[in-house]
Amino acid sequence: MTRGDLIVISGFSGAGKGTLMRALMEKHSEFCLSVSMTTRKPRESEVDGREYYFVSREEFEERIRKGMFLEYATYVGNYYGTPLDYVEKMLDEGRSVILEIEVQGALQIREKVPDAVLMFVTTPDIETLYARLKGRGTENEETIMRRLGQAAVEAEMIGQYDYIVVNDEVDRCADRMYAMICAAKSAPVRNAELVETLKKDLAAVLGNKQTVKGEQS
Ligand code: 5GP
């Protein structure tokens, strides 16, 4: 069975990553979402095992020591990490796995899994980002400015991603994301085995031809 693809989605807070991912997964059932582990406290609406696995710092650090994360990072004072076993199992079963993670984790994935597809989600412009953060009504001006400060740091890393996803309209944007994932799968870097086989088979055919030619002359 062909192994699934690893898709990493990062983006500015307020850019609409969650909504986009839900739209993508509704349209395409081959994707599954990895549930991360974190030491941050659950928000009111969050359920353990659905949004995150919520664990203590001690437990998280024990898992780091045991090498149980594909990647992990600290973000605003808390640990966040991707459990390795689930991702491996899904990829082995041929499912494509989406990780919704921040930039430090995404860059670790780039190193460890060179054929992962890295996508960065942004609003069309910063006015829209500000308006969306404000429109949530859950954060005060200071928190919004902190998130924009974080966005400025993240903006420096966008060049390391494969694709930038401009979230103008969710439905169309999810379709574009799917097209990007399909295109990424055809890149030579993600088909190294096929390229090697083509080269080897060509060499074999040419080698035989030369021998045959040699025998005839
Ligand atoms: P929040 O606390 O708002 O749910 O998430 C904060 C940030 O942590 C978001 O940017 C989110 O994408 C990121 N995040 C969530 N899970 C993981 C993970 O497993 N690894 C990393 N590196 N970042 C994560």
pTM, two decimals, is 0.89
Angle ∠(36,112,115) on CA atoms, nearest 5: 95
pLDDT digits (tens, 9 = 90+) for 46-102: 999 999 999 999 999 999 999 999 999 999 889 999 999 999 999 999 999 999 999
pLDDT at 209: 76
Token couple for 126: 């910063």
Residue keyed to tokens 């081959």: 30
Q: What is the mean pLDDT of residues 158-168?
A: 96
If pLDDT is split at 50, 70 and 90, which confidence band does 211 have? low
79 pocket-lining for ligand 1 (C-beta < 6 Å): no
What spacing in Å lies between the alpha carbon of 80 and ligand 1's midpoint? 6
Mutation test residue for ligand 1: of 38, 46, 80, 153, the one with most atoms within 8 Å of CB: 80
Q: What is the mean pLDDT of residues 125-153?
A: 91
According to DSSP, residue 34 is labeled P
What spacing in Å lies between the alpha carbon of 202 and ligand 1's midpoint? 46
What spacing in Å lies between the alpha carbon of 143 and ligand 1's midpoint? 17
- Note whether 37 and 81 are within 8 A (CB): yes
d(CA 199, CA 217): 27
pLDDT at 212: 62
pLDDT at 47: 96
pLDDT digits (tens, 9 = 90+) for 102-111: 999 999 999 9
Q: How would DSSP label each residue in 143-207? A: HHHHHHHHHHHHHTTGGGSSEEEE-SSHHHHHHHHHHHHHHHHTSGGGGHHHHHHHHHHHHHHHH
Domains of the chain: 6-186 (3.40.50.300)
Q: What is the mean pLDDT of residues 181-191?
A: 91
pLDDT at 76: 83
